[in-house]
Amino acid sequence: MSSSLPPLTVNRSFIQAFIAAESPCFALGLIEEGQRQYGLLALRPGEEIPAQVTALGFNFGHALLGNATFEVIQFVFQFYGFQTYNVLVNPNNPLVQAVLGQMLESSNYFFLALDPTDGVTAFRAEIGQETLIGLKANLTRIRQSTTSEGQYRQGLAQFKTNPEPAGVLLDWVCRHDLAYLDLSRDRLLLRPA
């Protein structure tokens, strides 16, 4: 992050739990820039993503996987010429509902990647029209999801046997505490290096 960027605020307990989780992992949260909140997609890939790779950005996509009984949301992060990371989340999770709602409201999100050497890559990105249209098209099903924890684990097991696209499957962490979305207290200010 360049020094001309404004500071960002996250929930301190969320970041501490995310850093303590075993990598490779992924978490959803909220982040504040100025007086505005955005959805946060946080990645700890367990390997350093070279600066020349992150400078190119990445392709972000999503899909709704499942059957007539349940669904899971797949997020895909494809770093050009480097690696593809997949994560599956349960759309019935209140934290997922809140973060996706914030992402759709602002049509923007922040991306954080923490590497094993404590380096951080952060940037705000607009949600591409294709992804935005896809999320909006699936929004009713996502909001009405009744996917249980067992069904989520079933979807995860099915994906592991035949991942598409091939890549690293990230463990979804920091997913059961709605307090992680509270930016009014327990604030941590992230200043650009």
Half-sphere exposure at residue 141, Cβ-oriented, CA atoms within 13 angstroms: 17
Neighbouring C-beta atoms of residue 66, cutoff 10 Å: 20
Nearby residues of 144 by Cβ (< 8 Å), 6 or more positions away: none
Q: What is the pLDDT of residue 179?
A: 97
Please determine, for residue 1, whether its predicted confidence score (pLDDT) is greater than 50.
no
Distance CA 178, CA 160 (A): 28
pLDDT of residue 82: 94
Predicted local confidence at residue 3, as pLDDT: 45
Higher pLDDT: 120 or 46? It is 46
Measured distance CA(30)–CA(39) in Å, rounded: 5
Single-letter residue type at 185: R
| Range of lowest pLDDT (40-44, 117-121, 126-130) | 126-130
Query: Which pLDDT tens digit goes with each residue over 132-148?
Result: 677 778 888 899 999 99
Single out the residue of 43, 190, 187 nearest to residue 115, CA to CA.
Answer: 43
Measure the CA–CA gap between 64 and 62, rounded to whole angstroms: 7
Structure confidence by residue, pLDDT tens digits, 11-60 = 999 999 999 999 999 999 999 998 899 999 999 999 988 889 988 888 88
- pLDDT tens digits, 53-103: 988 888 888 889 999 899 999 999 999 999 999 999 999 999 999 999 898
What pLDDT score was predicted for residue 4? 60
pLDDT band at 105 (very low <50, low <70, confident <90, very high): confident
Radius of gyration, alpha carbons of the chain: 16
Least confident of 97-106, 116-125, 174-183: 116-125
Report the SS3 class of residue 168.
strand
Identify the CA nearest to 92 among candidates 155, 142, 138, 156: 142
User: Where exactly are the structural domains of the chain?
Assistant: 8-190
- Distance from the Cα of residue 106 to its chain's centroid: 15
pLDDT of amino acid 149: 97
